[in-house]
Structure 1
Amino acid sequence: MNSEVIINIEHVTKEYRLGAIGGGTLKGDLQSFMAKIKGKSDPNAKIGQGEYSKNQKFLALNDVNFKVHKGERVGIIGHNGAGKSTLLKLLSRVTAPSKGKISYNGRIASMLEVGTGFHPELTGRENVYLNGAILGMTKAEIDKKFDDIVAFAEMEKFIDTPVKRYSSGMYVKLAFAVAAHLDSEIMVMDEVLAVGDMKFQQKCLGKMGEVSEGEGRTVLYVSHNMNTIRQLCTRCVVLDHGTVVFDGDVERAIEIYMDNYSELKTEVKLYEKKRSEYLSKNLKCKMTYAKIINSKDGIIKNNEPLMFELDFDCNENVSALKFRIEFKTFGHGVAIACANSTIKCKKGEKLHILLKADISQLSDGLYETAFVLYEQELGLSMDLDSVLGFVFQKVNDDDSAIKWNPTWGNVQFPDIEVQSI
């Protein structure tokens, strides 16, 4: 790693004022002011809107300090509202810090959201030149890189089409290609790869690693996908309510993120959950409630099964109703195992059932679940309801068991049988 400090963040604080500022018109402001003097409620306030005093503030960032060296790939993680995007906006000079100082050496290419810096009425070609000019590059420099940008983005057919007609995935492809190929010393990425398909995500991650190692460019990357953080970053910063709680090893940072921001949800009101978009609007069966019953703290140890209750309403007769629980790695939702069962029900029934799943082969870690009710006949299946369930932790602390290395995977199969031949 190069010892040159390319970004220096010193005692940075960003403070926002809560609530609406002004009523929108002079008349509205006067009405609100007179109501406040008379001790009455604001006539321009929306129903249910909280009352905020003019002095009420919110610290999006609070005394943040860290340095980034040339060529580093730094991940920034934390829960929603931790201050990640605010920090990148300060670095990109979209807004200014309330206190503190940010200094950096070089040009910054930013992707803070899909299509950042693109003008919708201009074509893809024109936007490439516009973005390059914003970064301070000459037309000759952009000409030299142009073919590589278009080829990387796979946009040869659409480069002369106005970007307002692009899909979100096309926006990301071209915007990333511009940021990656133009001569900027620092790349700032905020969860933008989540829009692209899996193949393009891997292509982008490979490109960021290539420009960092080969060209010495610095990357700051915000994501909730821990797999991409692991794959790309050489260092990780964890933010919590605007402060830095950890700065260092990637795996340790992810561990802290998981421990701090994962509430083990042993009881879930499924009727409040958002259903999968592909489902029918009129659900034949709808799940309403789920609860782990053999653990109060959401921790399942050793060979103990996962026992849980499930409530659902049967709105129509289903001849071959089945239930599937999917086990996913917490934080990025990669499905790694599932278990199925058959359920009998009749129209109008409200069922309360007990289910038991053998999870002895799962390694240590946090897992989130997804519940699926589906109908299966003649080899064909159709999902009737699908929703995220509870979160639990698997702990294997039995000394007689083989200590499973997490890098080996999430599932431990029985020992392999060996036969002499």
Structure 2
Amino acid sequence: MSNIILKAENISKQYRLGVVSSGTLSHDLTRWWHMVRGKEDPYLKIGETNDRSTKGSSDYVWALQDINFEVKRGEVLGIIGKNGAGKSTLLKILSRVTGPTTGEIKTKGRIASLLEVGTGFHPEMTGLENIYLNGAILGMTKKEIQQKEAEIINFSGCQRYIDTPVKRYSSGMRVRLAFAVAAHLEPDILVIDEVLAVGDAEFQKKAVGKMQDISKGEGRTVLFVSHDMNAISLLTDRVIVLKDGKVNYEGDTDSGIKEYLKGDDKQLNYNYKGEVRNPKVIFAEIQTSLPNNVHEFGKEIKFVFTLDLPFDTEYLALSFQIIDEFSVPITHSWVFDADNDIKRKKGQYTFQCSYPNPKLYSGNYSLLVHLSNSRTKEKFDFLDSVCHFKLQMMKTVRSEYHWQKNTCKYIEEMEWKTFNKEDV
């Protein structure tokens, strides 16, 4: 128990839509009257789950409901979830920006928060003055801040503008300075919302490295919210997945990312339901290593196609291209019946193409699928930009790949399998 630095007990947060407080004097008086008599707040019994995609019937909504978790000293805890899941509300409560409707936060030590660009900065004060202001808020002495001053300024990269009022900083400069202050003034708990997305690639790399140093080297605690699963995978060992204001999952990072990526049931594959008069692709699917058509770099990926042949067909040719989000072809694969001297009888057939180790960069991709006669070049079917999937780098594979000096050779390995309808 002595190693627990932060504990959230039954945290809930209720808002009334469209107004501040209860919105009416009568509601506030009702709450006060119940409080002085030792009765439960009557408005805690009403309110709806925070599902932003549906129209509710109540003016009250629960942004958070019954949140419980513990964080150990030196741990980096990831907090992930869709937009509106309650992540920022939870961090504001943890940072004491707002209070919970019910429940209690117990902490040991100082908390520094970076919830949005420029949080805690006074726009009329210079960057240097804001460093001392933030340090004072954290309870540090002037001497302690002076010892860190040069290191903070150097890390932020804002040396030239450190005596300029913060209101003249760009959003990128503000987040650089804000992160540098929060990370270097030695808080026991560092709370970071999705602010690193504002910084450039160079600064994001520095920030990730600094967070690793804070947790592993200095033994301080970090609560990290991000939609970037690469950063979550790299930095955290444990995550909390929020959904509609409730804890949907708590546990190891890899399983948490899979739970987060499941998302809603969406049509990610291709299904044709119409009449088939000519050979046609009626089903296309990508089998990725993670849910929701998200694939991890370095893992095997499979592409499955089902064809419906309304009559006997010779010289069948099935091919597909992986294209990027700008419709630029990245790789091309095909299978010809002519190569195997096969004549297809009328019926349905399934083809599977496996890439043991696709060399694709992180990004968004989809498929172009062609079905034709390899001899006559007659086109039977063409699917444009179907089966969208996303490829991400994860921490487990970053050190496994390297280039050999003076070589640049690329060999794409793949394996095709064919199944009759009765074999599937």
**TM superposition score category, shorter chain reference:** 0.5 to 0.7
Residue 16 of structure 1: aligned partner: 15
For residue 361 of structure 1, what is the amino acid of its counterpart?
A: Y
2:200 matches 1:197: yes
Paired residues of 2:10 and 2:103 also in contact (CA < 8 A): yes
**TM-score when normalising by structure 2:** 0.61
Give the one of 202, 220, 223 matched to 1:220: 223
For residue 304 of structure 1, what is the amino acid of its counterpart?
A: V
Q: What is the rounded CA distance, in whole Å, between the counterparts of 2:304 and 2:367 in structure 1?
A: 20
Q: What is the rounded CA distance, in whole Å, between the counterparts of 1:86 and 1:208 in structure 2?
A: 22
Paired residues of 1:263 and 1:391 also in contact (CA < 8 A): no
Q: What is the rounded CA distance, in whole Å, between the counterparts of 1:245 and 1:368 in structure 2?
A: 27
2:51 matches 1:63: no
2:304 matches 1:304: yes
Please give the per-residue CA displacement for 1:140-184, whole angstroms capped at 9, x wherever unaligned. Answer: 111111000001111111101111111111111100000000021
Cα 1:302/1:235, change in 2 over 3 Å: closer
Paired residues of 1:367 and 1:391 also in contact (CA < 8 A): no
For residue 323 of structure 2, what is the amino acid of its counterpart?
A: I
Q: What is the rounded CA distance, in whole Å, between the counterparts of 1:71 and 1:337 in structure 2?
A: 45
Give the one of 111, 130, 140 matched to 2:133: 130
Residue 283 of structure 2: aligned partner: 295
Paired residues of 1:150 and 1:174 also in contact (CA < 8 A): yes
For residue 12 of structure 1, what is the amino acid of its counterpart?
A: I
| RMSD across aligned positions (CA) | 4.2
Give the one of 301, 320, 325 matched to 2:323: 325
Please give the per-residue CA displacement for 1:389-416, whole angstroms capped at 9, x wherever unaligned. Answer: 863599xxxxxxxxxx98879x99318x
Q: What is the rounded CA distance, in whole Å, between the counterparts of 1:363 and 1:265 in structure 2?
A: 22
Q: What is the rounded CA distance, in whole Å, between the counterparts of 1:327 and 1:251 in structure 2?
A: 26
Moved more, 69-78 or 191-200: 191-200
Max Rg structure: 2
Cα 1:217/1:250, change in 2 over 3 Å: same
Give the one of 352, 355, 358 matched to 1:361: 355
Q: What 5-or-longer segments of structure 2 have no aligned partner?
A: 24-53, 271-279, 289-300, 308-320, 333-351, 369-384, 402-409, 415-424
Please give the per-residue CA displacement for 1:6-33, whole angstroms capped at 9, x wherever unaligned. Answer: 00001111111123469x9xxxxxxxxx
Cα 1:10/1:169, change in 2 over 3 Å: same
2:210 matches 1:207: yes
Please give the per-residue CA displacement for 1:126-145, whole angstroms capped at 9, x wherever unaligned. Answer: 11111111111111111111
Q: What is the rounded CA distance, in whole Å, between the counterparts of 1:82 and 1:294 in structure 2?
A: 37
Cα 1:96/1:144, change in 2 over 3 Å: same
Q: What is the rounded CA distance, in whole Å, between the counterparts of 1:51 and 1:243 in structure 2?
A: 19
Residue 148 of structure 1: aligned partner: 151
Q: What is the rounded CA distance, in whole Å, between the counterparts of 2:306 and 2:364 in structure 1?
A: 13
Aligned residues: 302
2:305 matches 1:338: no
Q: Counterpart of 1:246 in 2: which secondary structure?
A: strand
Map 1:168-207 to 2 at 5 A.
Answer: 168-207=171-210
Moved more, 205-214 or 104-113: 205-214
Paired residues of 2:366 and 2:389 also in contact (CA < 8 A): no
Paired residues of 2:15 and 2:63 also in contact (CA < 8 A): yes
State the shift of 1:265 in Å. 4.2
Q: What is the rounded CA distance, in whole Å, between the counterparts of 2:20 and 2:209 in structure 1?
A: 44
Cα 1:199/1:392, change in 2 over 3 Å: closer
For residue 11 of structure 1, what is the amino acid of its counterpart?
A: N
Paired residues of 2:119 and 2:178 also in contact (CA < 8 A): yes
Q: What is the rounded CA distance, in whole Å, between the counterparts of 2:367 and 2:161 in structure 1?
A: 41
**TM-score when normalising by structure 1:** 0.62
Q: What 5-or-longer segments of structure 1 have no aligned partner?
A: 25-49, 268-291, 308-322, 329-334, 341-357, 373-387, 395-404, 416-421
State the shift of 1:5 in Å. 0.5
For residue 414 of structure 1, what is the amino acid of its counterpart?
A: E
For residue 7 of structure 1, what is the amino acid of its counterpart?
A: L
Q: Counterpart of 1:304 in 2: which secondary structure?
A: strand
Map 1:109-128 to 2 at 5 A.
Answer: 109-128=112-131
State the shift of 1:65 in Å. 0.5
Paired residues of 1:327 and 1:336 also in contact (CA < 8 A): yes
